Chains A and B, each alone.
Chain A
Amino acid sequence: MRPALAIATAALLVFSMMSGHPAEGYLLDTTVPQGGGCPASDRWNLSLASPLSRRWSTSLPLAPQTVLTVAAGGTSAQFDEIEQAISDSFGAWSGVAGTTFNATAYPGLIGPLARISAASSCTNDQESNVDGFNTICFNQSSMGFTSGVLAFTRVITANAPGVSVGSSPPAAFAGQILDADTLFRNDGQAMFVTPAALATPQGQGAYDLESLLAHEIGHWFGLDHSAVWRALMFPFAPPPGQFLGDRPTAQAPDGPLSDDDRAGIRLLYPDPNDAVNVGAIRGRVLPANPFALAEIPAPSPGAVVTGIFGAHVVALDADTGAVIAGTLGGWSCDVLNSSLQFDGSFDIERLPVGHNYTIYAEPLVGLATPGDFSDALIDLCSSSAASECTTPAADTNFNPRTRPAAP
């Protein structure tokens, strides 16, 4: 890959090959190992012997009806219609070329979609929600819902190797996902509609189920929200009666995704045989005036913040201007001594080779704000892990500046 043109910031964007373990791309959920160490990306440990199990609860709220379908309620045809939307949502992710669970290159890593009838398949009061069964539920009244919250996804990860929950196999590494459940509220605050029913008059007032599910499945696989507006993992969905992007097709099952989504999932599950998406751009976002960092509290005893934390760094195709990938940078970790440093590092990986890229950095004061990403940023540290630290607040107090391209 040719070096990218560099736009910088106030905040100089410095490109270099990092010797440590820089912040991995896009916005991934991470887990700090129980015994200490660098934050590990949350992901499944999929294999033919241990494929991703998945099921959905056929318990559907009827009064008021929450899931709109063309098929009549309570019929097997309705279940088939909903199940098709779920399958296509998974198919968007397993349709990405260059991953270890691509349905064509590595079939069988995503298990069959099973049905279960119990309404309490995702949540109950017996502290057995975390059961190792990965379930989508539409008929939920969890105490987790507060006023105005309509749906959420809960992802359970292991903090150490050997940990298991319910039926899950023991984790092979810290950060391994053991359980994922998606819960939809059942009190009629929102309706969801299958693609087939979206064109009906009733469907115009309901959320496109496939769009929401595909986003939620992205969380299942370990992706957090993206600050790239066109990404499926951008924390916004189409309004009722609409969908954005493309519907999945047999030729392009990953049509609903953006390049940023594809780059993110390739980073988590890289295909060792992929020779195309192997490009990486790494660097640091640094303040032009280093004294600007002096007021930031130390993240851990004796440590100092030496770079911009929480900058949104974006890679554009230099020829088309299309956003290819973005990441929230600001940290690196030396795997040898498990030293987490808030040094402004960023790392955009799994970029297609043979392209020129333009890079820019911006503070999170535009379409997305630090509050949108507070969970992922704070997860870099853990008060209960051996290597205790506190993440700095996302730095939004810098201005973009232009840096001449290197000769």
Chain B
Amino acid sequence: MTRIRKTFAPAARYLALLPALLAINLAATATTLTRMSLATMSQKAPVIVRARCLGNSTGWDAGEIWTFTSFEIEDVWRGAAPARIVVRLLGGRAGNITSSVSGIPRFHAGEEAVLFLEPTPRGDFSVVSWQQGTFRIRRDSRTGEESVTQDTASFATFDPATRQFEATGIRNLPIDLLRARIEAALRSTGTRRTQ
């Protein structure tokens, strides 16, 4: 970015303003999210897992087209989950039509993520607060170290208690530190970590 600033002063001035502008509280629209701290989300989500995406399928249910994503559970951080689970999220391709809903996380086969899950009445799972409950795992190709970035890392979210927006997204956090924070949050409330 430094080189950009040196070479293109007008653009650089504009770009330099971005952090300050970002400080203005903002919130996601197409999906407007209620703010949840990591601690709150840890307590809200009965199941927290590290999982690898196996694949996607789509189908109709309750008047909507859903994408059903299969995950292989690599580690259970909270609650209980079988070795494989299905997560349903709005939208997808079914027959001759496609349903699109912005703000929904989508997953590649082979992609790893930490997911905050809640069970649905259908016996599968959904992701708490969609993108807010999705943390993508990235492995540094040189060091092998793993970090996570929340899908809402660039979203500021809304706290109904204070009626304020706060930018609280997690970006490039070592995965061990994420787990430690979750465990600390659950310990503080006396919540059983795993079953």
- Which residues of B sit under 8 angstroms from A397, Cβ to Cβ? 141
A152, B30: Cβ atoms under 8 Å?
yes
- Contact mask for chain B residues 100-136; partner A; CB cutoff 8 A; 1 contact, 0 none: 1111111111110000001011000011111110101
Q: Is A128 an interface residue (CB 8 A)?
A: yes
B151, A159: Cβ atoms under 8 Å?
no
A393 to B22 Cα, complex, angstroms: 26
Q: Is A368 an interface residue (CB 8 A)?
A: yes
B10, A151: Cβ atoms under 8 Å?
no
Q: Is B33 an interface residue (CB 8 A)?
A: yes
Distance from A358 Cβ to chain B, minimum over Cβ atoms (Å): 5
A372, B151: Cβ atoms under 8 Å?
yes
Q: Which residues 150-195 of A sit at the B interface, judged by CB distance below 8 A?
A: 150-160, 163, 165, 178, 189-190
Residues of chain A at interface, number, CB under 8 A: 85
The stretch among A102-110, A138-146, A333-341 that forms the contact with chain B is A138-146
- Which residues of B sit under 8 angstroms from A152, Cβ to Cβ? 30-31, 90, 101-103
Q: Which residues 25-61 of B sit at the A interface, judged by CB distance below 8 A?
A: 25-36, 44, 55-56, 58, 60
- Which residues of A sit under 8 angstroms from B95, Cβ to Cβ? 159
A367, B56: Cβ atoms under 8 Å?
no
Output the nearest chain A residue to B127 by Cβ-Cβ distance. A146
B108, A371: Cβ atoms under 8 Å?
no
Distance from B105 Cβ to chain A, minimum over Cβ atoms (Å): 6
Among B56, B58, B98, B155, the residue within 8 A (CB) of A157 is B98
- Which residues of A sit under 8 angstroms from B150, Cβ to Cβ? 371
Q: Is B21 an interface residue (CB 8 A)?
A: yes
- Which residues of A sit under 8 angstroms from B65, Cβ to Cβ? 130
A175 to B98 Cα, complex, angstroms: 9
Query: A154-B90, A163-B96 are contacts. A239–B164 as well, Cβ < 8 Å?
Result: yes
- Which residues of B sit under 8 angstroms from A46, Cβ to Cβ? none
Q: Is B62 an interface residue (CB 8 A)?
A: yes
A371, B29: Cβ atoms under 8 Å?
no
- Which residues of B sit under 8 angstroms from A370, Cβ to Cβ? 136
B28, A237: Cβ atoms under 8 Å?
yes
B149, A371: Cβ atoms under 8 Å?
yes
A402 to B30 Cα, complex, angstroms: 35
Query: A150-B33, A379-B100 are contacts. A393–B11 as well, Cβ < 8 Å?
Result: no
Among A154, A239, A297, A322, the residue within 8 A (CB) of B26 is A239
Distance from B135 Cβ to chain A, minimum over Cβ atoms (Å): 9
Q: Is A16 an interface residue (CB 8 A)?
A: no
Q: Is B4 an interface residue (CB 8 A)?
A: yes
Q: Is B7 an interface residue (CB 8 A)?
A: yes
Among A224, A319, A378, A401, the residue within 8 A (CB) of B102 is A224
A237, B29: Cβ atoms under 8 Å?
yes
Q: Is A400 an interface residue (CB 8 A)?
A: yes
Query: A155-B99, A157-B100 are contacts. A128–B63 as well, Cβ < 8 Å?
Result: yes
Q: Which residues 343-373 of A sit at the B interface, judged by CB distance below 8 A?
A: 358, 360, 366-372
Query: A29-B100, A148-B36, A358-B8 are contacts. A371–B3 as well, Cβ < 8 Å?
Result: no
Q: Which residues 288-327 of A sit at the B interface, judged by CB distance below 8 A?
A: 295, 297, 316, 318-323
A360 to B165 Cα, complex, angstroms: 30
A219 to B44 Cα, complex, angstroms: 30
Query: A7-B7, A235-B102 are contacts. A207–B127 as well, Cβ < 8 Å?
Result: no
Among B6, B64, B121, B153, the residue within 8 A (CB) of A142 is B64
A371, B30: Cβ atoms under 8 Å?
no
Distance from B60 Cβ to chain A, minimum over Cβ atoms (Å): 6
Output the nearest chain A residue to B117 by Cβ-Cβ distance. A146
A10 to B35 Cα, complex, angstroms: 36
Q: Is B180 an interface residue (CB 8 A)?
A: no
A375, B90: Cβ atoms under 8 Å?
no
Among B100, B109, B141, the residue within 8 A (CB) of A154 is B100
The interface centre, meaning the residue of B55, B64, B95, B107 with most chain A CB atoms within 10 A of its CB, is: B64
Query: A143-B62, A146-B118, A371-B136 are contacts. A236–B96 as well, Cβ < 8 Å?
Result: no
A146 to B104 Cα, complex, angstroms: 11
Output the nearest chain B residue to A236 by Cβ-Cβ distance. B26
A314 to B154 Cα, complex, angstroms: 18
Distance from B94 Cβ to chain A, minimum over Cβ atoms (Å): 8
A216 to B32 Cα, complex, angstroms: 11
Q: Is B93 an interface residue (CB 8 A)?
A: yes
B164, A156: Cβ atoms under 8 Å?
no
B32, A371: Cβ atoms under 8 Å?
no
B64, A129: Cβ atoms under 8 Å?
yes
23 A-B pairs whose Cβ atoms sit less than 8 Å apart in the complex: A34-B96, A123-B63, A124-B63, A130-B65, A144-B101, A146-B129, A148-B128, A152-B30, A152-B103, A155-B101, A158-B97, A215-B30, A225-B102, A236-B26, A318-B10, A321-B11, A367-B18, A369-B151, A371-B151, A371-B152, A372-B155, A382-B93, A384-B93
5 further contact pairs, Cβ within 8 A, besides A150-B33, A154-B99, A384-B58 = A7-B11, A151-B32, A295-B141, A358-B10, A374-B107
